[in-house]
């Protein structure tokens, strides 16, 4: 009989949904996997026009094997939500693996879970990890002990396959990769600031600044509150 | 003022959710994009434990610019649902782009939309496209006129960026790629049957056969009913 593997995705308003749907589609196929999508209040949350329902309440989940925190434009607000951050700390304490995708690592940092640890993050926010005592790492997937962090959004799929290999072995993870036909072939080589055309990088930087999502002051406030 | 770009994801029971969440996260950021997640009955559908709510009824959507049909283990049953297939045909007729991800192309085929056209599909089901008069193509993203089809599951992201470039230009699509940090780095090279270790391929084939999801007779029945 396969043991249960409890996987919790901790959601909050204005998450980038692909940050967790990508990893979910991989990890839900692990042996014994029982996945939970949960938020502070449970119920439903709508991200970019997609409504996710039947969410559980984080407080109702006693413990988990894998805690995964996705990122998104709501990251800064989530850091300021004491109930959310309290649940992150509580679930992380008993988890075998503490994980994040994209700016979810800033939440792990704000929860005090990354002190002295290397961690990945979306390229535009990566440096802010240092405010929480973490060591920003440009890797696509970064492991430091039992903490696995992925880079921006789509890195969640690479992260999930890496974690799947850790939990169920390389062969099983390769089977997941094959069943999901994950042989990526992007039409452009513009996925990182180092490879994107300069005018594209400038436009995306300006767009992110305009959303206020890079607000360093919010991160600094969260770091002071640690 | 930007014109509205109406994008419909046509859902049905037992869809693989990453087939549409991946493309949705890309396409929802196109200028003027208004996305609709819709099914025959509307309401909610749960895929692999994730509940998607606030679904619209396909019949309530007058027309769309982009019709996208995802795949999944429920593809064969969807082909047998006359109401679903009727809506697919109706929406496709007025769409600028008729698209699919994974086994969604079998639904396009069963709807009579791929006769004489090249199309992609998940590797395990690709050959069945021929039963609908389509030309199976091993490409990650295949374009034939206004029909764009992606390969298995994760090909949806490559498909969406390709379509984004068609609609909004290469520079805009590159900006989306950068904002989603789509610089994939799979931990293994096992995403296609040609590259997966033979024992992994054998196990995944056996698993897919066991689910009955490769049932050729269902596809043959749908082809006869065309």
Which of A52, A154, A177 comes nearest B51 by C-beta?
Answer: A52
Q: What are phi and psi of B5, to 5 degrees?
A: -115, 105
Name residue A56's beta-bridge partners: A38
Q: How much is the pLDDT for B214?
A: 57
Residues 206-225 in A contacting B (C-alpha not used; CB under 8 Å): 207-208
Q: How much is the pLDDT for A56?
A: 98
> What percentage of chain A has pLDDT greater than the value 90?
90
Q: How much is the pLDDT for B223?
A: 83
| CA gap B66, B160 in Å, rounded | 11
- Answer whether B153 sits within 8 Å of A25, measured CB to CB: yes
Most A-contacting residue of B174, B193, B194 (CB-CB within 10 A), to test interface: B174
Which residue does chain B place closest to A177, by CA atoms? B191
The token pair that represents B191 in the structure block: 């995403």
Most A-contacting residue of B25, B126, B149, B211 (CB-CB within 10 A), to test interface: B25
Q: Is B146 at the interface with chain A, CB within 8 A?
A: no
Most A-contacting residue of B6, B169, B181, B206 (CB-CB within 10 A), to test interface: B181
| CA gap A121, A100 in Å, rounded | 9
pLDDT at A86 over 90: yes
Which residue does chain A place closest to B151, by CA atoms? A181
Q: How much is the pLDDT for A214?
A: 56
Between helices B18-27 and A18-27, what is the axis angle to 10°?
160
Q: Is B24 at the interface with chain A, CB within 8 A?
A: yes
Which residue does chain B place closest to A15, by CA atoms? B25
pLDDT band at A80 (very low <50, low <70, confident <90, very high): very high
Range of lowest pLDDT (A11-20, A65-74, A123-132, B212-221): B212-221
Q: How much is the pLDDT for B183?
A: 98
Q: Using the CB atoms, write b or e for A36-66: b if 16+ within 10 Å.
A: bbbbbebeebebbebebbebeebeebeebbb
Q: Given 3-state DSSP classes, what are the helix, strand and coil percentages for chain A, each rounded to the nearest 5?
A: 40, 20, 40
- Answer whether B188 sits within 8 Å of A165, measured CB to CB: yes
pLDDT at A215 over 80: no
H or E, element range at B170:
helix B170-179
pLDDT at A61 over 70: yes
Q: How much is the pLDDT for B170?
A: 98
The token pair that represents B222 in the structure block: 């749908």
ipTM summary value = 0.95
- Answer whether B174 sits within 8 Å of A161, measured CB to CB: no
Active site residue B102: yes
Average pLDDT for A142-161: 98
Quick: pLDDT tens for A123-136. Answer: 999 999 999 999 99
Sorted by sequence, the CB contacts under 8 Å of residue B52 that are 6+ apart come out as A50, A51, A52, A53, B11, B17, B37, B44, B45, B46
Compute, in degrees rounded to 10, the torsion defined by CA atoms B40, B42, B44, B46: 20
SS3 B1: coil
Contact residues, chain A, for B193 at CB < 8 Å = 178
| CA gap B151, B142 in Å, rounded | 8
Average pLDDT for A71-86: 95
Contact residues, chain A, for B46 at CB < 8 Å = 54
Q: How much is the pLDDT for B213?
A: 54
pLDDT band at A98 (very low <50, low <70, confident <90, very high): very high
Segments of chain B scoring below 50 in pLDDT? 1
Contact residues, chain A, for B101 at CB < 8 Å = none
- Answer whether B186 sits within 8 Å of A186, measured CB to CB: no
Compute, in degrees rounded to 10, the torsion defined by CA atoms B173, B179, B182, B185: 160
Q: How much is the pLDDT for A213?
A: 54
């Amino acid at each position: 009989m396969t043991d249960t593997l409890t996987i919790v995705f901790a959601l909050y308003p204005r998450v980038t949904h692909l940050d967790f749907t990508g990893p979910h589609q991989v990890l839900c196929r692990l042996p014994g996997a029982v996945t939970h999508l949960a938020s502070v209040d449970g119920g439903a949350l709508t991200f970019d026009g997609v409504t996710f329902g039947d969410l559980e309440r984080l407080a109702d989940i006693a413990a988990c094997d894998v805690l995964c925190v996705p990122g998104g434009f709501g990251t800064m607000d989530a850091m300021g939500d004491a109930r959310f951050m309290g649940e992150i700390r509580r679930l992380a304490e008993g988890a075998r693996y503490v994980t994040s995708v994209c700016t979810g690592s800033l939440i792990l940092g704000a929860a005090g879970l990354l002190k002295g640890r290397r961690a990945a993050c979306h390229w535009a926010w990566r440096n802010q990890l240092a405010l929480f005592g973490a060591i920003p790492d440009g890797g696509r997937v970064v492991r430091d002990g039992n903490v696995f962090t992925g880079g921006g959004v789509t890195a969640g799929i690479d992260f999930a396959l890496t974690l799947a290999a850790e939990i169920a072995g390389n062969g099983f993870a390769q089977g997941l990769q094959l069943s999901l036909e994950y042989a990526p072939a992007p039409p452009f080589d513009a996925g990182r600031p180092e490879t994107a055309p300069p005018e594209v990088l400038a436009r995306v930087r300006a767009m992110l600044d305009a959303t206020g999502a890079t607000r360093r002051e919010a991160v600094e406030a969260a770091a002071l509150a640690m």
